[in-house]
């Protein structure tokens, strides 16, 4: 006669909980759920090296009427490649803990894991845009990658850009608060690169209060009152309202005193960021990893992991500024260090 199975306080075998509840929850999460920020800010990419073609002037050549032939255009290209990093979370499901846990307790811990996974992805997406650093994996900051294929932002229309063209500034306003001119300047810096899509701003609750005090602001605490693709997509964080053609989203992942404004599109080619995952699909998504201590009960000592990274793809599609008095220099927030 075999040993009795290990059970939860409500009488379910631990392996039944693991295989019939926990594993299906994580599988459905990976198959059906793409977080709102990930869907809005990024498209899915892998770790392989990709060639991409740099934009050129947008006009045709004028030809002679009968026999004129256009000159061939050269296809200037850069390369894109980004490795993934490993993220993890340990449950500390010891035998002592599981002895006193119910099935519902274990399901709730799994649901909390899904939330932490979403928050981690959101943090890394925003970090890639707001923490300017000294690398080319950022918005335009005067630094260019070895294989990026450019030494200054590409010309668009009549607009040419210096090598030091920068999408990170301090607004240098005496009160240290957000101003209407900050928003119009951000829109100008994005539009001059030919970026298409809808303007969206990400702000802290402090800046929400400052913006709400601006007389022309259209405020709505009810997302359903203003139906558009942005308010429809953002389900977790607060859609605040629209000012000067920018839909503002409040999230406490944006440090107080910092504002991110970008142009966002449903087209993958127009997304600002690439969400990079392993080349082999078997390594993608949130995965539950059994511990070696109890192979007969994989829930004991189980942990979770995800391989991913975030890379800035369209460097001119967003603009960051800090609300600071006495300086036009942008300093990356310590929160993202």
Question: Residue 66 has what pLDDT?
Answer: 73
Task: State how many domains the chain has.
Answer: 1
Q: pLDDT of the chain along its 337 residues, tens only?
A: 334 688 999 999 999 999 999 999 999 999 876 667 888 889 899 988 776 666 555 667 777 777 777 766 655 556 667 889 999 998 778 889 999 999 999 999 999 999 999 999 999 999 999 998 888 899 999 998 888 888 899 888 889 999 999 999 999 887 888 888 999 999 999 999 988 888 999 999 998 888 877 655 555 555 444 455 544 544 445 667 778 888 888 888 899 999 999 998 877 778 899 999 999 999 999 999 988 878 889 999 999 999 999 999 899 999 999 998 888 899 999 998 8
Does residue 185 sit within a domain?
A: yes
Question: Residue 218 has what pLDDT?
Answer: 52
Does residue 8 sit within a domain?
A: no
Does residue 63 sit within a domain?
A: no
Question: Residue 37 has what pLDDT?
Answer: 82
Does residue 68 sit within a domain?
A: no
Question: Residue 291 has what pLDDT?
Answer: 86
Q: Which residue has tokens 């990356």?
A: 332
Domain that holds residue 101: 22-54+77-150+165-336
Does residue 16 sit within a domain?
A: no
Does residue 158 sit within a domain?
A: no
Does residue 14 sit within a domain?
A: no
Question: Residue 65 has what pLDDT?
Answer: 76
Does residue 110 sit within a domain?
A: yes
CATH number at residue 262: 3.90.1690
And the tokens for 60?
Answer: 């045709």
Q: Which residue has tokens 């498209």?
A: 43
């Amino acid at each position: 006669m075999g040993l009795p199975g290990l059970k939860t306080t409500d009488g379910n075998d631990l392996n039944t909980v693991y295989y019939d509840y926990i594993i299906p929850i994580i599988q459905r999460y990976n198959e059906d759920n793409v977080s709102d920020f990930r869907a809005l800010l990024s498209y899915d990419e892998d770790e392989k090296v990709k060639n991409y073609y740099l934009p050129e002037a947008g006009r045709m050549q004028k030809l002679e009427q009968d026999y004129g032939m256009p000159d061939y255009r050269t296809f200037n290209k850069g390369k894109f490649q980004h490795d993934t990093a490993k993220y993890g979370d340990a449950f500390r499901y010891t035998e002592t803990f599981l002895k006193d846990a119910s099935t519902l307790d274990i399901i709730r811990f799994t649901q909390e894991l899904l939330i932490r996974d979403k928050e981690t992805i959101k943090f890394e997406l925003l970090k890639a845009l707001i923490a300017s650093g000294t690398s080319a994996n950022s918005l335009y900051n005067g630094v260019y990658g070895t294989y990026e294929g450019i030494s200054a932002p590409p010309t668009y229309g009549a607009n040419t850009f210096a090598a030091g063209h920068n999408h990170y500034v301090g607004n240098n306003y005496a009160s240290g608060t957000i101003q209407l001119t900050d928003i119009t300047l951000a829109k100008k810096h994005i539009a001059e690169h030919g970026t298409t899509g809808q303007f969206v701003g990400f702000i802290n609750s402090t800046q929400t209060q400052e913006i709400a005090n601006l007389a022309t602001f259209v405020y709505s605490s009810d997302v359903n009152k203003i139906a558009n693709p942005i308010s429809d997509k953002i389900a977790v964080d607060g859609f605040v309202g629209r000012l000067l053609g920018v839909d503002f989203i409040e999230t406490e992942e944006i440090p107080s005193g910092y504002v991110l404004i970008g142009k966002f599109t449903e087209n993958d080619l127009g997304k600002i960021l690439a969400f990079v995952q392993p080349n082999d699909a078997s390594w993608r998504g949130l995965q539950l990893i059994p511990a070696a201590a109890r192979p007969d009960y994989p829930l004991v000592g189980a942990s979770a992991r995800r391989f991913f990274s975030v890379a800035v793809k369209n460097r001119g599609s967003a603009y960051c500024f800090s609300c600071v008095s006495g300086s036009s220099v942008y300093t990356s927030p310590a929160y993202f260090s």
